Amino acid sequence: MASNAKKVQFDAVKTLENIESQFEMVQVLNEKGEIVNKSAVPEMTDEQLEELMRRMVYTRILDQRSISLNRQGRLGFYAPTAGQEASQIASQFALEKDDFILPGYRDVPQIVWHGLPLYQAFLWSRGHFMGMQLPEGVNVIPPQIIIGAQIIQTAGVALGFKKRNKKAVAVTYTGDGGSSQGDFYEGINFAGSYGAPAIFIVQNNQFAISTPRDKQTAGATIAQKSVAAGIPGVLVDGMDPLAVYAVVKEARERAINGGGPTLIETMCYRYGPHTMAGDDPTRYRTTDEDSEWEKKDPLVRFRLYLEKKGIWNEEKENEVIEQAKEDIKEAIKKADEAPKQKVTDLMSNMFKTLPVNLQEQYEIYTEKESK
Ligand SMILES: Cc1ncc(C[n+]2csc(CCOP(=O)(O)OP(=O)(O)O)c2C)c(N)n1
Ligand SMILES: [Mg+2]
C-alpha cells in the first residue's frame, strides 16, 4: 500500500547503516600470504618479521604443550589459544616495555612475551600465589577471570599514564562475549571522556563458550561500539599478523600523542575448546566452520609470506619448536619446585596486617602446618 505519510527529514535506520558500512575489515596479508593492501603494510625490519614469526610458532607449541600438561594434571586452568596467535602475539609485538597489559584468562601468551617468566604463568594456572607475584618492571596484571573487569581498570591505568605525562599505553584484551558486559561500555566511555591512552582489544573468536557472536549484539560489528564512546574503532582481520600489528601500532601512536583511546576488534577463531574444563565444541559449531577458519590460519599465511621473502624456512621453524619444548620443560620443572601453597600463605599474602578474626586462624594453621 502506498504510504501518504509525510516524508521525514531524518532516517535513523539509514544513519545506522551508514555508520555500520564504514567498518570494513582491515587486511594486509591474505590467506595465500600475499599483500593485498600496500598502503597498510607496517614498517618492520626483516629481523622484526622473523621475530614475530618465531613468537607465533613458539606460542602454538606452548598451546599444544599446555593442553597436554593440563590433561596430565600438571596444569590447572587453561584456555587454549591456537588460532588467535596473530590477534594476541602481533598486538603485543606492537607495544613497548613501558606499556601496561591487562589480560583476560586466554591472554597468557601476551603477558609472557611482555616479560612474565613462563614458570610463573604455569603457577598462575595452578592458582599458586607465586604466579601472581609479578616481577618489578613487568607491566602486567594477572589474567582476569571475571569477564570485562579489566576493562575499567585499563581506563584507570591509562588515565594514570596521562596524568603523569608518561608516553605509554594501557592495553586490555577481552572477547566478543566480554563486549556485552556493562564494564566494557563504562571502560571505553570513561577512557574516551578523559582522553586516556588506552587500547581496548576485543578478540572476536566467534563464541563466548557456546554462545555465538550474533547473540552478543545486533550491531554488524563490535568495532562500531566505539562510535557511542566517541573514540576511533577499527575492525581488523585477526588472523593476519601484519594487519593486527599495523592497527595496534597506529592506535599506540595516537594514544601517546594525546589522541585518546582506540577500540580494536580482531576477527579470529579459537580452534580448541573454550577451556580445558570439559566443554565440547562439536555441540555448538560444525567441522565445516572449523575448517573454513583453519584455511585462514595466521601461521600458514605468515609463513608463506616470509618464505617468499627468504626470511623463513623449515630449519628455523624446527629450531623454534625445539627451543619452545625445551623452555616449557624447564619452566614446568621450576613450577614444580615452588613450595607447596599453605593456608597461612593465603592469609599473609592477602593482608599486610591480619584482621583480629584471621589472626586467631593464622595461629591455628601455623601450628598445624608446623607438624
Ligand atoms: C562476569 C562473568 N560472567 C560470566 C563468566 C563465565 N564465563 C567465563 S568465560 C565466558 C565466555 C566469554 O567469552 P568471550 O568474552 O567471547 O571470550 P573467549 O572465552 O571467547 O575468549 C563466560 C560467560 C565469568 N567468568 N565472568
Ligand atoms: Mg569469544
Of 196, 203, 76, the closest CA to residue 147 belongs to: 203
Could you report the per-residue pLDDT of 96-110, keeping only the tens digit for each?
Answer: 999 999 999 999 999
Q: Determine the average pLDDT of the residues in 220-238.
A: 98
For the cut 70, the answer to whether the pLDDT of residue 90 exceeds it is yes
Pairing status of strand 207-208 against strand 211-212: antiparallel
Match domain 17-338 to its CATH number in 3.40.50.10420, 3.40.50.360, 3.40.190.10, 3.40.50.970: 3.40.50.970
- Determine the pLDDT at residue 9: 83
Rounded to whole angstroms, the maximal C-alpha distance in the chain is: 89
CATH 3.40.50.970 domain locations along the chain: 17-338
β partners of residue 173: 201
The residue annotated as part of the active site, out of 60, 114, 252, 274, is 274
For the cut 60, the answer to whether the pLDDT of residue 1 exceeds it is no
Instruction: Note if 274 is an active site residue.
Output: yes
Could you report the per-residue pLDDT of 234-251, keeping only the tens digit for each?
Answer: 999 999 999 999 999 999
Q: Determine the average pLDDT of the residues in 342-362.
A: 93
Computed over every residue of the chain, the mean pLDDT equals: 96
For the cut 60, the answer to whether the pLDDT of residue 225 exceeds it is yes
Q: What percent of the chain has pLDDT over 70?
A: 98
- Determine the pLDDT at residue 3: 60
Q: Which of 183, 201, 209 to mutate to test the pocket of ligand 1 (most atoms within 8 A of CB)?
A: 209
- Determine the pLDDT at residue 278: 87
CA distance readout (Å), 244 to 23, 224, 238, 247? 15, 17, 6, 5
For residues 131 and 120, the answer to whether their CB atoms sit within 8 Å is yes
Whether 207 is in the pocket of ligand 1, judged by its Cβ within 6 Å, is yes
For the cut 60, the answer to whether the pLDDT of residue 121 exceeds it is yes
- Determine the pLDDT at residue 74: 96
pTM exceeds 0.85, yes or no: yes
The residue annotated as part of the active site, out of 65, 106, 114, 270, is 270
